[in-house]
Chains A and B, each alone.
Chain A
Amino acid sequence: MIPGAFDGETVTRRRLMVLGANGAGAVAAAAFLLPALGFALGPVFEEHKVPWQPVGPVEDFDDTSYVPVTFTIVDGIGEAGKTLAYVRKRNPKIDTDKLPKGFEFEEFIAISTRCMHLGCPVHYVDAAQRFICPCHGGVYDFRGFVVGGPPVRPLDRFYTRVRLGQLELGPRYSVNSELDRFSPRDPGEPLDGIGQYLYPSRPSVRKLNTGQP
């Protein structure tokens, strides 16, 4: 028998009152905490679509050197939303990798300037045929493979297609050292071996399944 309880009572009225008041408080707190938390976490689960953007007539690009093009990846934030890509035609003598299913007709390669160490902007040095990162000394060869410094995977690329004689760039994708394509990962995340599982694809951005329809 609980002290202070009536005969046969298993929960005293005082205890019920305490539980009720605390429970009501918890519900009230959850009513503003959970929506606020969801509001802050929402963008993690929201898919971010990138539109195709024309960057110039196809005649502007050849298969021996890169042409830098500027285009917008994030709208509404002015200069900060623009990025640079280095574009060239596929060269069968150099680009021996097999194109994946759905992308067999890709003719161009667009290399992202985001360094795969920690995301600084690389620039292409024509004389050396290398991409060089100013921050921590990452060096990539003509095809974007790492040849020196701390980067963990080859430079990311953008999907390309041709519309009405214009070359268009689409979303970014990441590659491992075999040039297998993955949904865009952040810099510093290796994709060889166990890497692709340690750094999983994010719901906010997915890879394309087909290229030019």
Chain B
Amino acid sequence: MPKLKLPTPPKILNPRPTRPGNGPKPTPLDNAKEAGATVVDWLDERTSLAGPARWLMFRKVPRGTNWFYTLGSATLFAFLNQAVTGVFLAMYYDPSPTHAYESARYITNEAFLGEFVRGMHKWGSTVMVILVFLHMGRTFFFGAYKYPRELNWIIGVVLLILTMTMSFTGYLLPFDQRSYWATIVGVNINGTGPLVGPYLSDFLRAGPEFGATTLSRFYAIHMLLVPGAIVALIGAHLYLVTKLGTTAPPWLKAEQESELREERA
């Protein structure tokens, strides 16, 4: 049956776009509306980062993805909390054995919001350790460490060790009785390793006794050395997550295409 031609709609319902250069001049409001797109375009034209950003942000996740899959992001945000509060604590903290306790006391009792920021850092460290272990447990019980994700598991274990190093070195910094003796005990536990232990203790203390540079050494490890390594490894960890994708929960069976099923039969 031949089709009738559709009637042309009146012009008012189908306005033609104005040719570039012919239309009314864009008002400042129009420009403001376009500002975001303009900035992104300007950046993308020069970096070509829109593709990688889309690759990172908009990925497919398997069916059955649930709240357990947010533990990694939670750990990341716990780390970001530690990084940001740590940077601001460093503005008041003085890592010298004679002033450390006083500066920590100043942060807690005198500085505006000091107790809050210090509390965020102190309790945040505990939260981060708990989240790291929950994230590790999720990965283990969901079998997400298996091929091809072994390398990501290894990077995760190194990140766990670095997190523990952060906890150990950070514990000394308030320099009260508890920090001091806990560090003595911790360093001596390192020292009980046969053959290398005594030298490891000397390295950590910068000498045979807890001395003038032990605190600054712990401070440098705590705020420069280990955070740098953690940031780099988190980058590698996230790259591999994006590259390899996440696993479906183990209770979901793999579904085959119906055509393939027929072929096999």
Q: With the chains together, A74 CA to B214 CA distance in Å?
A: 11
Interchain CB contact under 8 A, A48 and B180: no
A77 touches B98 (CB 8 A): yes
A198 touching B195 by the CB < 8 A rule? Answer: yes
- Report B-chain residues with C-beta under 8 Å of the C-beta of A198: 194-195
Known: A77-B211, A120-B181, A199-B194. A40 touches B98 (CB 8 A): no
Name the residue of chain B whose CB is nearest to the CB of A114.
Answer: B184
CA–CA, A41 to B209, complex, Å?
Answer: 15
Q: Is A27 an interface residue (CB 8 A)?
A: no
Main SS of the interface on chain A? loop
With an 8 A cutoff between CB atoms, is A119 at the interface? yes
Asked if residues B189 and A184 are in contact (CB atoms below 8 Å), the reply is no
| Cα A185 to Cα B202 with chains together (Å) | 11
B249 within 8 A of A: no
User: How many residues on chain B are close to A (CB under 8 Å)?
Assistant: 29
With CB as the reference atom, state the residue of chain B lying closest to A46.
B207
Count of chain A residues near B, Cβ 8 A: 31
Chain B 232-262 per-residue mask, 1 if CB under 8 angstroms from chain A, else 0: 0000000000000000000000000000000
Judged by a CB distance under 8 angstroms, whether A179 is at the interface is: no
What 0/1 readout, one digit per residue, does chain A (127-153) give for beta carbons within 8 Å of chain B?
000000001000000000000000000
Give me 20 other A-B pairs in contact (C-beta within 8 A), A48-B208, A185-B198 excluded: A43-B202, A43-B213, A46-B207, A74-B209, A80-B97, A80-B210, A81-B97, A118-B185, A119-B188, A135-B185, A186-B191, A186-B201, A187-B188, A187-B191, A188-B188, A189-B197, A200-B195, A200-B198, A204-B202, A204-B208
